[in-house]
Amino acid sequence: MVTLALNDIQDFKDSRKGKSREGAPLTNEEVALDIQAENLKALLIVLQDQRIALSIDEALHADAAALSALSLANQGELDDHLAALALESGGNLPLPTHAQRFLESYQVPSLVDLIYDFRGY
């Protein structure tokens, strides 16, 4: 609707070309149309920004499970690395973290399948 209104304003302005003297000041009607066109252009930008924000939000919701699984996998990997460093330096093996316990309950191919299922691959 906004684009149609902008087109209508442009069509009206095009139909008025050549009807006034060159260099003559704009009429009140022309000033009002210019202001309305600028307001409509600003509204169009807001609507486009809103569409992009909604698209990003939908993508985040659609990928939430895969992002959580990847986050847990990354945290488990870090926790495993820290445990390996503790063992290497002669320290005691720390208790398994939440991420490590979670990953132990899944086979790696199952986790990969879970991620790919949510990504649509």
Go through the chain and tell me how many residues it has. 121
Between 111 and 89, residue with greater pLDDT: 89
Between 112 and 76, residue with greater pLDDT: 76
| Mean pLDDT along residues 19-25 | 76
Q: pTM for this structure?
A: 0.51
| Mean pLDDT along residues 14-30 | 80
Check the CA dihedral 17-19-23-24 and report its sign: negative
Query: pLDDT band at residue 121, thresholds of 50, 70 and 90?
Result: very low
Q: What is the mean pLDDT of the chain?
A: 84
Tell me which residue of 79, 120, 85 sits closest to 99, measured CA to CA.
Answer: 79
